[in-house]
Amino acid sequence: MKNPNTKIYAQNGNHGLDIYLDISGIPHYLTTRRPNGVLYKWLKNGKTLSELSRLRPHCSPIEQKKYHYVQHLIKLVNDYCKFELAA
Protein backbone atom coordinates (compact mmCIF):
# COMPACT_ATOMS: atom_id res chain seq x y z
CA MET A 1 0.00 0.00 0.00
CA LYS A 2 1.55 3.26 -1.07
CA ASN A 3 -0.59 5.57 1.08
CA PRO A 4 -0.09 4.85 4.81
CA ASN A 5 -2.84 7.36 5.70
CA THR A 6 -5.50 5.08 4.24
CA LYS A 7 -7.98 4.17 6.98
CA ILE A 8 -9.57 0.88 7.81
CA TYR A 9 -12.74 0.87 9.89
CA ALA A 10 -15.51 -1.44 11.06
CA GLN A 11 -19.29 -1.10 11.18
CA ASN A 12 -21.94 -3.39 12.60
CA GLY A 13 -23.73 -5.07 9.72
CA ASN A 14 -26.69 -7.42 9.43
CA HIS A 15 -24.56 -10.57 9.52
CA GLY A 16 -21.58 -9.49 11.58
CA LEU A 17 -18.83 -6.93 11.45
CA ASP A 18 -18.32 -5.19 8.09
CA ILE A 19 -14.73 -4.07 7.43
CA TYR A 20 -14.13 -1.14 5.06
CA LEU A 21 -11.06 0.48 3.56
CA ASP A 22 -11.28 4.27 3.20
CA ILE A 23 -9.06 5.47 0.35
CA SER A 24 -9.24 9.24 -0.21
CA GLY A 25 -12.73 9.42 1.27
CA ILE A 26 -14.11 6.58 -0.86
CA PRO A 27 -15.13 3.50 1.17
CA HIS A 28 -14.24 0.09 -0.27
CA TYR A 29 -15.86 -2.99 1.25
CA LEU A 30 -13.29 -5.61 2.31
CA THR A 31 -15.06 -8.38 4.20
CA THR A 32 -17.60 -9.38 6.83
CA ARG A 33 -16.46 -11.09 10.01
CA ARG A 34 -18.36 -12.69 12.83
CA PRO A 35 -19.34 -10.22 15.57
CA ASN A 36 -16.21 -9.34 17.52
CA GLY A 37 -16.33 -6.77 20.33
CA VAL A 38 -12.58 -6.25 20.63
CA LEU A 39 -12.13 -5.60 16.93
CA TYR A 40 -15.23 -3.38 16.70
CA LYS A 41 -14.24 -1.16 19.66
CA TRP A 42 -10.77 -0.80 18.23
CA LEU A 43 -11.75 -0.06 14.61
CA LYS A 44 -15.08 1.76 14.94
CA ASN A 45 -13.44 5.20 14.56
CA GLY A 46 -10.91 3.94 12.02
CA LYS A 47 -7.19 3.30 12.15
CA THR A 48 -4.62 4.23 9.53
CA LEU A 49 -2.52 1.53 7.94
CA SER A 50 0.59 3.10 9.41
CA GLU A 51 -0.92 2.72 12.91
CA LEU A 52 -1.73 -0.91 12.19
CA SER A 53 1.73 -1.70 10.86
CA ARG A 54 3.35 -0.27 14.02
CA LEU A 55 1.36 -2.53 16.35
CA ARG A 56 3.50 -5.10 18.18
CA PRO A 57 2.39 -8.05 20.33
CA HIS A 58 2.27 -7.69 24.11
CA CYS A 59 1.75 -10.09 26.99
CA SER A 60 -1.98 -9.60 27.50
CA PRO A 61 -4.30 -11.92 25.56
CA ILE A 62 -6.38 -9.05 24.17
CA GLU A 63 -3.30 -7.29 22.79
CA GLN A 64 -2.14 -10.55 21.20
CA LYS A 65 -5.58 -10.96 19.59
CA LYS A 66 -5.36 -7.42 18.23
CA TYR A 67 -1.92 -8.18 16.80
CA HIS A 68 -3.17 -11.28 14.98
CA TYR A 69 -6.27 -9.44 13.73
CA VAL A 70 -4.02 -6.71 12.38
CA GLN A 71 -1.77 -9.18 10.58
CA HIS A 72 -4.82 -10.68 8.89
CA LEU A 73 -6.25 -7.25 8.00
CA ILE A 74 -2.97 -6.11 6.45
CA LYS A 75 -2.95 -9.23 4.27
CA LEU A 76 -6.55 -8.52 3.23
CA VAL A 77 -5.73 -4.91 2.33
CA ASN A 78 -2.66 -5.91 0.33
CA ASP A 79 -4.61 -8.56 -1.60
CA TYR A 80 -7.49 -6.15 -2.20
CA CYS A 81 -5.17 -3.48 -3.54
CA LYS A 82 -3.29 -5.99 -5.69
CA PHE A 83 -6.28 -7.73 -7.26
CA GLU A 84 -9.27 -5.37 -7.06
CA LEU A 85 -7.89 -1.84 -7.34
CA ALA A 86 -5.23 -2.69 -9.90
CA ALA A 87 -7.76 -4.29 -12.28
Question: What are the pLDDT digits (tens) for 32-75?
Answer: 989 888 889 889 999 998 888 888 888 999 889 889 988 999 99
Distances (CA, A) of 40 to 16, 27, 48: 10, 17, 15
Is residue 4's pLDDT more than 70? no
Q: What is the pTM of this model?
A: 0.83
Q: Strand pairing partners for 28? A: 21
